[in-house]
Amino acid sequence: MRVWLYVLVLVDMDTGIAENLESENYSGFRQAVHSLVAQIFSTSDMPARKTAISFKPNGNLRRQPTQARAQQTIQTLFKAAAQILDKEGEGGLSTNRVAAAAGFSIGTLYQYFPSKEVLVQAMATRGRDLVLQELERCLNEMEQDPLEQMTDPRGSIRRILRILIQGFAGGHSWTRSLVRLAWAQEEPQETASAVRQVSDRLALFLERVDHPQMRPLGTAQLFVLTRSVIGTLRSASLEKSPLLQSPALEDALLELVWALIGQDASARPRN
């Protein structure tokens, strides 16, 4: 099961999923989800510049997701599944329960998801890409004019941390339930891949902004930093830590990051 289930905090964003996919062909469904995310990015207003977070389209869709009704159906099913997990846990989650809670027949659900595992995997796939999109948008905005956008560099780092906290630990009670389920059934290779994308993108960000109060980090420093932050969020999620509802966790992570990344502007070497 995909670990990127966590980003259902963004579940209210518009979504399109390919229609009439054969229920036994999950690989085709998975490709459909990735193709959709690629379409979202292709129409965004982000500058066409190299980034460390890449979204590759798959051209194997049988039909393009164009009907608003299908998009709304998928979104409603996702919300219903999330609410059931929050109230009853994984044991209460079934395709019949999700269909009933969403107000659809089981046949409608099976048109898109042949099992609850496929439903959860689809939520995770979409969620992972949406949180990376949000991180890319935030970093890109700061890169456009670092001195204007980052008058408070610690505040800018806090913005980045909030995206990661939302993504890897969840920002609402039902989202936290989904995150916890995803971490409990994570696939290490997928976790490692996404963490590398975050790490590489942050390295590129630090190189581009060249802020007088922020130092560039070496490979080892970035590895330790990103794994420390995400490892902390993973533990907080699995342990159902009350810190997830407290600003103390965000503050502690900020101090951790700033200890490595911050520097006195007067101590910065002159060119």
User: What residues does each domain of the chain span?
Assistant: 3-267
Q: Tell me the pLDDT tens digit for each residue of 53-67.
A: 654 433 322 233 457
| Six-digit token string for 87 | 């109230």
Low-confidence residues of the chain: pLDDT under 50: 1-30, 32-51, 55-65, 268-271
Which 3-state string (H, E, C) describes the chain? CCHHHHHHHHCCCCCCCCCCCCCCCHHHHHHHHHHHHHHHHHCCCCCCCCCCCCCCCCCCCCCCCCCHHHHHHHHHHHHHHHHHHHHHCHHHCCHHHHHHHHCCCHHHHHHHCCCHHHHHHHHHHHHHHHHHHHHHHHHHHHHHCHHHHCCCHHHHHHHHHHHHHHHHHCCCHHHHHHHHHHHHCCCHHHHHHHHHHHHHHHHHHHHHHCCCCECCCCHHHHHHHHHHHHHHHHHHHHCCCHHHHCHHHHHHHHHHHHHHHECCHHHCCCC
Q: Tell me the pLDDT tens digit for each residue of 187-196.
A: 788 788 888 9
Q: Specify the pLDDT at position 53.
A: 60
Encoded amino acid at 48, one letter: A
- pTM score > 0.85 for this model? no
Q: Does domain 3-267 have CATH number 1.10.357.10?
A: yes
Query: Would you say 153 and 262 are in contact if contact means Cβ atoms under 8 Å apart?
Result: yes
CA gap 106, 86 in Å, rounded: 21
The per-residue pLDDT of the chain, averaged, comes to: 76
